Chain A
Amino acid sequence: MATEGMVRQQMLHRLYSDHHGWLNGWLRRQLGCSQRAADLAQDTFVRVMTKDEDMGAIREPRAYLHTIAKGLLINHWRRRQIEQAYLDALALQPELVAPSPESQALIVETLLQIDAMLAQLPAKVRRAFLMSQLQGMTYAAIAAELGVSERMVKKYMAQAMLHCLLLVAED
């Protein structure tokens, strides 16, 4: 569908030239860093491009781009937060044996993956799952921590695992 593709191209180009300026400025104010802002603005348009949506149906392009950019921004902060938490934990290690850069990157990447995987779960379910899987806490300890029954913890665990299973199934 060459023509359809061309129409899409044109619309995208229009969207870009109309909105890139303010989007970039808005991101720069949020981030305080023009280079990161330029990257995220670019990412926003890439996201629009790869979305299989009818661009003619976008009535409020500004609000639309704003929503996408905000999502990317939150991911960006979240990544920063996780990286920082890792660096802080690293700094607190009493031992001088620092993990290799590769294994550091692996751990941060794993943290991000797990974070994304559990993002949509209710807070208590997510916490119960993390306490069990990451911290090896018993159901009794988790129940005490969350102020719920052990039966409820078991339910949370099943709920969290089912959620993850469905995500994996989508891949």
Chain B
Amino acid sequence: MGVDYRVLQEAAKWFAVLQSGAASPGERQAWAAWLQQPDHAQAWARVERISGQFQPLASDAIGRSAGAMLHSRQPNRRQALKVLSVLCGGAALSLAGGSLPWRQWAADERTAVGEVRDLRLADGSQLWLNTDTAVDIAFDANARSLALYRGELLIDAPASRRARPLLLSSREGRVRSEQAARFSLRQEDGRTRLSVFTGVVDIQLDGFAIASVGAGQQAEFDRRHVAPLVAARAEHQAWATGVLLADNQRLEDFLAELSRYRHGYLGCDPRIADLRVVGAFPLGDTERVLDALAATLPVRIERRMTWWVSLEPAAKRVDA
């Protein structure tokens, strides 16, 4: 009350400018000057109240992923039932997730199976967490460190300032970068895989630098050795955009990858394990991916139980 439309309009505009995360120092100053007037400050308090309503959700993984469904509106009974059946079908997943815009210090972050989430870190780094991933983030004035416990991450980090190298540890060792770099790190059983897309990243085992991995290169390491470098694969960053890439991949390997995004068993008959898969598939809907496979390969989908899906050779002529 008492705040006129024009002021509310200005407040909304300032909100849009500041929320972009790309406001210039000049814009920030102009906003601070605007805020000096009491009625402006009053309008701004409302902006913060509204924006604050999202806080309990943004900081709650479950609420956030449930919030994905707010994107669509106009429910009716049929639609509600459809949504329910889809969600109950076990293929429920959201590329929802999300992030608090200004995350700063130590934080535990986890993603659910099927969830891909991006976060912006205090130094301006962009971090993506792939499905079923757990990390600790410790970013402050002295250190920029992340610990990957499970799953896979992709980070796009600016160059270090004030001698704060970026340090990421996995169960096997540690990777370190001082330049601007974009790379993915994946925790596998007994080994870690590093794929570098820009910059240079060093691998340290037992605290000693063992190898430097440059842009376009990929390395796997365990506690003792770094395997010979190979070319980095595009699919190791494509997931961050919700795409599962297959470049002439064996069907069995492709399914193993796909199954990371859903609950339950997903596999195939050994007779078709070596069929080749090529394509870009949407990670948001693994059922659709399976349908696409059935449409392009000589396979059929056998749903034995809700949690048990197996691909079988497509039925051919019945040979007596």
> In the complex, which residue of chain B has the Cβ closest to the Cβ of A104?
B62
Of A6-14, A38-46, A57-65, A75-83, the one touching chain B: A75-83
| B114 close to chain A: CB less than 8 A | yes
CA distance A74 to B73 in the complex (A): 11
Mark interface residues in A109-132 (1 if CB within 8 Å of B CB, else 0).
Answer: 011011101110001001100101
| A166 close to chain B: CB less than 8 A | yes
User: Are A137 and B16 in contact, CB atoms less than 8 angstroms apart?
Assistant: no
User: Are A130 and B67 in contact, CB atoms less than 8 angstroms apart?
Assistant: yes
Quick one: given A134-B67, A164-B50, A169-B3, are A95 and B110 in contact (CB under 8 Å)? yes
B49 surroundings in chain A (CB, below 8 A): 168
B270 surroundings in chain A (CB, below 8 A): none
A84 surroundings in chain B (CB, below 8 A): 83-84, 87
> In the complex, which residue of chain B has the Cβ closest to the Cβ of A99?
B62
CA distance A115 to B74 in the complex (A): 11
Task: Point out the residue from A85, A94, A114 that lies within 8 Å of B54, measured CB to CB.
Answer: A114
Mark interface residues in B86-124 (1 if CB within 8 Å of A CB, else 0).
Answer: 011000111011111100000000101111011110000
Q: Least Cβ distance of A94 to chain B in Å?
A: 6
A74 surroundings in chain B (CB, below 8 A): 75-76
B159 surroundings in chain A (CB, below 8 A): none
A-B contacts, 28 listed (Cβ < 8 Å): A77-B75, A78-B75, A85-B69, A85-B87, A88-B92, A92-B65, A92-B114, A95-B110, A99-B60, A103-B60, A107-B60, A110-B63, A114-B70, A115-B70, A126-B73, A130-B71, A133-B51, A134-B54, A135-B58, A135-B64, A136-B101, A138-B21, A138-B126, A139-B20, A154-B16, A154-B17, A158-B15, A161-B51
Number of residues of chain B lying within 8 A (CB) of chain A: 69
Mark interface residues in B4-46 (1 if CB within 8 Å of A CB, else 0).
Answer: 0100110111011101111000000000000000000001001
